[in-house]
Structure 1
């Protein structure tokens, strides 16, 4: 579904003089989803990721084809529960950054990466 988009940028400061407002259309699927077969959406429950601007009720766009990298946000199957966590890389190893502890992500651990968060969608309050 295509949604109209105003080509004029919106100012976060003081208004600029009026200009011609040209309307176009944008397809949010093609804008937000780069690899459709590997992409899914998941809704957040809880507020443990507020330092990363992720709050309860947010909708996450997740791409399963992307690889882990330092300081990414990922969906993890941890102890048979899906969680969203920040991933850090130290000494060529990836870890879940979880408050005061770091949990190693390896083939031998109970941690399974489901995908990398590419967009966070939340309602304006």
Structure 2
């Protein structure tokens, strides 16, 4: 299940914060001394596109790939899924988020990334509609 937070409302002047540098997430390296232009989160994830929506994840079926309960997902409703994309689908009347996996000569598979959850085989007999493709995941890291 998801909470649909809605389409993005446009603001004339998005808030921009300076990018103060880079940080190594591997071995320490000397800091690169250069300046980056100020960054706006809504510009980074293209929130002004009319096909972009925000959804709040509910559940833990994708925790194996870093999508956790309560995360905010930026979803584009205008994209067709590619193999390996994370998609939001509607099964019956329920929203579901899984990895889209193409299979040669078979129907696609929707992969859960938690052993406690089942994968979903997309069959002609089921009502499964693509709602959108997840492009960004926003979640809190600490505190």
After superposition, the Cα gap between the structure-2 partners of 1:105 and 1:68, relative to the gap in structure 1 and judged at 3 Å, is farther
Q: Quick check: 1:117 aligned with 2:134?
A: yes
Q: CA deviation at 1:68?
A: 1.4
Q: Which is richer in strand?
A: 1
Is there any run of 5+ residues in structure 2 with no aligned partner, and where? Answer: 1-13
Alignment of 1:68-107 (within 5 A): 68-91=81-104, 93-98=107-112, 99-104=117-122, 106=124
Query: SS where residue 22 of structure 2 aligns?
Result: coil
Which of 55, 76, 81 lines up with 1:63 in the alignment? 76
RMSD between aligned alpha carbons?
2.4
Q: Distance in 2 between matches of 1:23 and 1:102?
A: 43
Q: Distance in 1 between matches of 2:37 and 2:48?
A: 24
Provide the aligned length of Structure 1 versus Structure 2. Answer: 123
Q: TM-score, normalised by structure 1?
A: 0.81
Q: TM-score, normalised by structure 2?
A: 0.72
Q: CA deviation at 1:109?
A: 2.8
Whether the 8 Å contact between 2:19 and 2:39 is mirrored in structure 1 is no
Whether the 8 Å contact between 1:72 and 1:87 is mirrored in structure 2 is yes
Whether the 8 Å contact between 2:88 and 2:134 is mirrored in structure 1 is yes
Q: CA deviation at 1:41?
A: 0.5
After superposition, the Cα gap between the structure-2 partners of 1:45 and 1:101, relative to the gap in structure 1 and judged at 3 Å, is closer
Structure 1 residues 11-58: Cα deviation after superposition (integer angstroms, max 9, x where no partner):
2343636x6564631222221027711110000111111112100110
Q: CA deviation at 1:77?
A: 0.8
